[in-house]
A and B are shown apart, each in its own frame.
Chain A
Amino acid sequence: MPEATQRRTLRHGNVPFVISTTGATSALTVNGNPISVVKHDNNKYRTGYLPYAEFNDLETLAHAVIDVHPSLRK
């Protein structure tokens, strides 16, 4: 039986983003753009959008991505 996917639709600065979780795998979409996210061996999240940072949770990561990449707001 396939695992259920949970989706949370949130906003940051009026920019919508969606966190999808299926089992241990999570995915992030910001304003319709898929954002690659990796969970590293210290259980922190990293993304190529912010290659010098790591985050405890995907919601904060999404906020930082939106703040640093204004092109995602359009």
Chain B
Amino acid sequence: MLTLTTAQQTAFVNALLSLKAKGKYDTYVTTHASAMMHITPAPGDPPAAPSDPTAQMMYRNAASSGPAFFPWHRELVLRLEKDLSVEMAEPDFAMPYWNWAADSALAPGASPIWLPTLMGGDGDPTKSNQVTTGPFRSVASGGTWTTVELDPNTGTPLPASFLRRTLGRGTSLLSGSIKTLPTPANVTATQALTPYDTPDFSSSTKVTGFRNAVEGWNPYGMNNLVHVWVGGSMEPATSPNDPVFFLHHCNVDRLWNLWQTAKASGLGKGYVPVSGGPVGHNLTDALFPWNTSADTRTPADLVNSLTLGYKYDTD
């Protein structure tokens, strides 16, 4: 993100604001939330408690807590990238990434990514942690950005609100044992793990491998830690409300490419399960909600970035 020119950064931010004004950006928020609430159970999973609608969701769902975590988020990022490309009239636009590990030693808010010309700053703790600076500041602060709010149990829409952040100071973060963004050492440690995933392909801390480590369940950290470190709107299933979500997941996508090259004998290699895993997570299973005859995407469609037309500067 920080290697873009000022003009490129401005064009990127303006395109996000334009998609938001057209109502298109909000579809990314609802798509993510609905996939997080779409359970993908498998035989042998712990039984969900009666009247506990989110118990299985927290074990594994269509977008996360399972092998599809990487391809599912790659698809979401690519769809936004395409929309932004059209908005910017820039066919060669590529989604920028935020290398958060490089910022892990900085004080919260000190990274240039939080400048008013980019993502804007921390929330104001005296104003319910609403973001009051930058392009995504609240309406009360002279901005235009609002957030999609959904009942976490039912998905029922709630009144729109404002973007919130608690950079490095949220309750979820401070109650844990790690208080900073994931470090370069954390990245190195996860890059050494094999295989890609292991049974029962869930968020269980018994599941070893690359995916469950980068997602942040075993050990706790990485992707999960970035969400709770940014805090506020990045913490519920509606986390794409904060545009930094996409810069973060582009970085997660970059880490997948690095791992494929280092540990899986090349881009596009290493994905498991090929079959026999939870429905929606096998290599050729359709990913929810892209599972209709008119719009079908599978992990197999998404494992190789080269066939999708891109690579990273670190590949």
Chain A residue numbers with a CB within 8 Å of B64 are 51
Cross-chain contact A67 with B170 (CB below 8 angstroms): yes
- Give A40 to B64 CA distance when docked, in angstroms: 16
Query: C-beta contact mask, B158-198 vs A, less than 8 Å → 1, else 0?
Result: 11010010100011100110000000000000000000000
Number of B positions contacting A (CB below 8 A)? 43
With known contacts A48-B37, A53-B224, A38–B59 Cβ distance under 8 A: yes
Asked whether any CB of chain B lies closer than 8 Å to the CB of A68, the reply is yes
- Give A42 to B166 CA distance when docked, in angstroms: 27
Asked whether any CB of chain B lies closer than 8 Å to the CB of A14, the reply is no
Interface members, chain B 222-258 (any A CB < 8 Å)? 223-224, 227-228, 231-232, 234-237, 239
Asked whether any CB of chain B lies closer than 8 Å to the CB of A19, the reply is no
Q: Which secondary structure characterizes the binding site on chain A?
A: mixed
Q: How far is the CB of B60 from chain A (nearest CB, A)?
A: 12
Asked whether any CB of chain B lies closer than 8 Å to the CB of A47, the reply is yes
Asked whether any CB of chain A lies closer than 8 Å to the CB of B216, the reply is yes
- Give A55 to B224 CA distance when docked, in angstroms: 13
Which residue numbers of B lie inside 8 Å of A, CB to CB? 36-37, 49, 52-55, 57-59, 64, 128, 149, 151-153, 158-159, 161, 164, 166, 170-172, 175-176, 203-206, 216, 220, 223-224, 227-228, 231-232, 234-237, 239
Cross-chain contact A64 with B205 (CB below 8 angstroms): no
Cross-chain contact A52 with B54 (CB below 8 angstroms): no
Cross-chain contact B128 with A51 (CB below 8 angstroms): no
Q: How far is the CB of B160 from chain A (nearest CB, A)?
A: 11
The 8 A-B residue pairs whose C-beta atoms are closest, nearest first, are A48-B54, A52-B227, A64-B171, A53-B172, A36-B54, A52-B224, A42-B205, A60-B175
Cross-chain contact B228 with A49 (CB below 8 angstroms): no
- Give A68 to B172 CA distance when docked, in angstroms: 9
Q: How far is the CB of A8 from chain B (nearest CB, A)?
A: 18
- Show 24 A/B contacts (Cβ-Cβ < 8 Å), sorted by A: A34-B153, A36-B53, A36-B54, A40-B204, A41-B206, A46-B58, A47-B58, A48-B57, A48-B237, A49-B54, A50-B228, A51-B58, A52-B172, A52-B224, A52-B234, A52-B235, A53-B172, A55-B172, A60-B171, A63-B175, A67-B166, A68-B164, A68-B235, A71-B149
Q: How far is the CB of B83 from chain A (nearest CB, A)?
A: 25
Chain A residue numbers with a CB within 8 Å of B37 are 48
Chain B residue numbers with a CB within 8 Å of A49 are 54, 152, 236
- Give A55 to B235 CA distance when docked, in angstroms: 14
- Give A55 to B59 CA distance when docked, in angstroms: 15
Asked whether any CB of chain B lies closer than 8 Å to the CB of A2, the reply is no
Cross-chain contact B175 with A55 (CB below 8 angstroms): yes
Chain A residue numbers with a CB within 8 Å of B206 are 41
Cross-chain contact A68 with B236 (CB below 8 angstroms): yes
With known contacts A47-B58, A48-B153, A69-B152, A36–B220 Cβ distance under 8 A: no
- Candidates A34, A47, A56, A68; contact of B232 at CB < 8 Å: A68
Q: How far is the CB of A44 from chain B (nearest CB, A)?
A: 8
